[in-house]
A and B are shown apart, each in its own frame.
Chain A
Amino acid sequence: MAAIVSAGFARFGKRKDSIMDIAAESAMPVVRSHRDEIDFALVSNCYSGEFNGISGINNLLTTYLSMDAVPSIRIDNTSGSGGAALFTAVSLVESGRARCVLLTGVEKMSERPTKEVTRIISSLLGDREKAAGPSLPSFAGLLTTLYMREFAATRESIAQVAVKNHRNGALNPNAHIQKVLTLEQVLQSNVIIDPLRLFEISPISDGAVSLLVVPDPEAPSFTDKPVHVKGIGMSSESSHLTARETLTDMPSVRRAGEIARRESGIDRPDLAELHDMATVLEIVEMESLGFYPRGEGWKAVLEGKTEIGGELPVNTSGGLNSKGHPIGASGVAQAAEVYLQLTGGAGGRQVRDARTGMAVSMAGFGNSATAAMMGLEK
């Protein structure tokens, strides 16, 4: 299939730098070593028009990196742009159309007031749904109530996801929030979307991540530690939340995960990066992926099974919850965390003997999902 052979990072957080400089900060370490090989560039980015007043960011970036003749495409699939871009990168090298793809995920959001960011992000909804005034995280508030009601989950179990992910984020130098939190601190932070609290919702962040994707047979010429994409699946669900039977299951995540598992032959990864725009989503996605039975993911969290050192560490990077959620960068960052973990580069948050990992990038509120199963063996 394809392999990831290099990764570069621009720290997530509130950054003074321009979107171009943030993107370049992540891309240059990759480009410096492989300028002559890169024959295609993908830029995962959602809102550079709305947030930064630019169009054609893909070509602007290749020019800024002085790769003026390298063809490029911008991939926008809202919050799931990064997964969609990885899917496209793998497809490009598998088809033979490209031999060495630079994949950069980037977003700069923090210059805009929160209410404006909230309006721009909710523009992915249907017209009547949008007219009711929801934010995307507001659906996570509604889902939290529905999940607790349907499965008798405790409020503490949902908040414990934030405790875990902030502990992990404090071990990630590229994470936005560098703060270890107690359960009490999470549950006593301001209510944002009843019943969800401030520390249970991803912050508004800037940041970028770059990867180099090449065909499997060529990977050894780039590095002695390639990470192979062994299976990758993508699926969608109605953009209209009012057309869905339930919010406590994510069919797009389930179907994408099934494809990734089938293609890779790996049923259960050693670790997973999931789309925890809000705490409750991590739990629901774990269930939709079949890691835990439906309605029992919250118990796994309480029992520490998803901690680093547990049976299936989830969001070792800190997740969107602590690492931050620069929209177009998030899905690329998830794949990059798996790359770091499998190559032994995850520092204080390293999972011992990790040989396989899954990254699940989700658009909207499960409107689309991409699941990538990665491993050290080809």
Chain B
Amino acid sequence: MNVFRCTGCGAELFERRASCPSCFGESFEEVDAGEPEAIVSSRLTVTPEGFADSYDLFIGKLGKARAIYRKE
């Protein structure tokens, strides 16, 4: 799973931004951070339109960032 790494200070973000929250640099590279490591999960049985009716939602560590992902 990819993260956006600031080429100025090395901060890593799951969500792309125009400007780095740590150094305000404006240049990022997209790099593979491997698989996320689960911190917490929840089974959802009410889900948004366009998605299956039930799945597990996770917050996990992904490199120096955090990720939100699901497993059906």
A146 contacts partner chain B, Cβ-Cβ < 8 Å: yes
Which residues on B are within 8 Å of A, measured CB to CB? 13-16, 21, 39-52, 55, 57, 59, 65-70
What's the Cα separation between A139 and B52 when bound, in Å?
A: 18
> Which of A114, A142, A192, A195 sits near B59, CB closer than 8 Å?
A142
Count A/B pairs, Cβ under 8 Å.
102
Contact B49 A118 (CB under 8 A): yes
> Which of A137, A138, A242 sits near B14, CB closer than 8 Å?
A242
What's the Cα separation between A134 and B59 when bound, in Å?
A: 11
Q: Which residue of B lies closest to A196 (CB)?
A: B42
What's the Cα separation between A113 and B53 when bound, in Å?
A: 13
> Which of B43, B52, B66 sits near A194, CB closer than 8 Å?
B43
- Chain A, range 101-142, C-beta contacts under 8 Å to B: 113-116, 118-119, 122, 126-129, 132-135, 137-138, 141-142
Q: Which residue of A lies closest to B48 (CB)?
A: A119
Contact A126 B42 (CB under 8 A): no
What's the Cα separation between A244 and B52 when bound, in Å?
A: 27
What's the least CB distance linking A264 to chain B, in Å?
Answer: 32
Contact A127 B57 (CB under 8 A): no
What's the Cα separation between A115 and B50 when bound, in Å?
A: 8
Contact A115 B48 (CB under 8 A): yes
Contact A192 B15 (CB under 8 A): no
> Which of A119, A137, A141, A242 sits near B50, CB closer than 8 Å?
A119
What's the Cα separation between A326 and B12 when bound, in Å?
A: 37
